[in-house]
Structure 1
Amino acid sequence: MDPEVPSVPSTLRRARPLAALLLVPALSLTALAGCGSDEDDQAGGSTSEATATAGSTPGATPGATPSAATCETQEAGAGGVEVTGEPGAKPELTLPEGEPAPTTLTRQVLTEGDGEPVESGDLLVAGYLGKTWKEGTVFDNSYDRGQPAAFPIGVGQVIPGWDACLVGLNAGTRTVLTIPPAQGYGDQAQGEIPAGSTLVFVVDVVGSAGADAAGEADASQEELPAQGPQVEGELGQRPTVTVPEGTAEPTEPGQQVVATGSGDPVEAGQLVVMQYEVVDWTGQPVESTWETGTPYGGPVGVQGQGSPFDGLVGVPVGSRVLLTIPAQGEQTPPYAVVVDVVAAY
């Protein structure tokens, strides 16, 4: 089950205009865009609750009923669910044979991280493995791809079970989510996932980025050529980009570092979390993650998957970068894109 838009799996996706226009490749995290709720209780002690609401948004499962989902926290190992393997590495998930599927949305915290807590509206970066309860089939996992996934959390862009159970967890946490159909895909089949399936996920919370995420405020400022697009604004804040009248359109992708951060250089194949501001060659705004309030995360430098952000390879994390992107046929004009490189995984 491969995704069709960046950073969100095919069943966990929200469309991004820039992605559609510039053919940003999709990330895979195949199992998360639905709806619903359930009120029944499952055996096992509940010590805390988290709530999220799923609406009729892009990526929601067709036919799903918007509702609030409540996630109960259980002790690790409750219900016979067993996980082995080190946090961050591909887990081995064992489910009890012959047991009826749970009817309550739950999470079990296997390892408590000490990083920043995930907030509703953040871009969440996570590794995951998903399995159907009845068939015991692993329908997708990020570990085999060697790269985590990134997606908005807590805002109705994924299945309610993910929204309800992952908000509030600290970076570095490994958790197990048991998601009944009402908080998953309901009676809608999704690829290898049969209709009415209860799902179990092992999730490693790698990190998250909120609306105020940015490059380094003290990055080393560089000078841009006077004859090209210009970038203004304080580092660490939302920038502006202008294209002076008469500036020649680019004929191939270009990259200029506006300010150099102190982090490690971005490597080909990594998932990069970023903020960006896009204008066309007339200076008209096209898209801004600063405006939408959620950063973007997607892979760069992947062979066979051209991305407008491939120019970020080799750029240190924390940097601000100007990318120029040539026109693609008659329908897509050239763009100037200012990117703050927030993180790379």
Structure 2
Amino acid sequence: MYNLFKPLFFKLNPEDAHYFVVKRLKWFYDHFPFGKSLLKSWFDIEDKRLEREVLGIKFRNPVGLAAGFDKNGEYIEPLSALGFGFIEVGTVTPLPQPGNDKPRMFRLIEDRALINRMGFNNKGVDTLAERLRLLRNQNTKIIIGGNIGKNKNTPNEQAVEDYIKCFDRLHDVVDYFVVNVSSPNTPGLRALQERGPLTEILNTLNQKNALLLKRKPILLKIAPDLTNEQLNDIVEIVLETKIDGIIATNTTIDRSGLKADEKLKNEAGGVSGQPLTKRSTEVIRYLSERSNKAFVIIGAGGIETAEDAIEKLNAGASLVQVYTGFIYQGPSLVKNICKALI
């Protein structure tokens, strides 16, 4: 069904197409007779063999939706009905911000990829926290991750304060946290991946976490563009700060091998999708082997088939996340991965 409508969606600007689709998905889930039941019957697979115990959390299956798709937590329930084992919301910042100027998302159809420079556009952590609180009050069992970042205008020297604010507001309403210091679309953000500032952020969050009644797992999302020496530093920092794991990887700034025309492929932003498949798997394998599987890895980047997902799991990931492959393949992707795992 998705392939029938995809040519129409792809005639729209990518960002406009995104909101066109998710708003209609939500309407179908909320208002169409038996909409929820139909979505689950079409796309959701319930099978005990898919369950995973990771980070002290029971996931009904290992296939999640990556951050960026539902930044403000507005579509969690209908997206979950498409079969996802968990949904990661955000990236969210303490204050609302509009993000970068439009257009800020581009399709590279020949490469089965996207370029985005969204710039952490979101409605702010207070809005997200309130929405998640209402959802939790309905006793939903959906596993929700909170991806947190800093506001564009916050100097890097004060970045830790932004992460603390987001952590404090979301602690009671998410199941795990992801610290995002790897987006290429907020000026200077990737500098926070350096040992000094990154250690400060992670230590501060973990110390606060330890004082709370219920500790929540904390993961770090890293770029695929790090060298092996930088990845070695990341492993040491994770072990030193005692956070729970890594999401590998975010989008890449590398443009090598892209088939798209020069103007399109050189648009500023991060590349996601098929061009990232191999590199993200390499990073997963390197981290897993270097650390001797000492921490959890969630694999993301270029998953467009069940084989892509299985390759990342075999490389050392405990869970996987999709985004761009979901846009190109539609909701059947999650079902296909789960069927292959069974």
Larger Rg: 1
> TM-score under structure 2 normalisation?
0.27
TM-score, normalised by the number of residues in structure 1: 0.27
Q: Which has the higher helix share?
A: 2
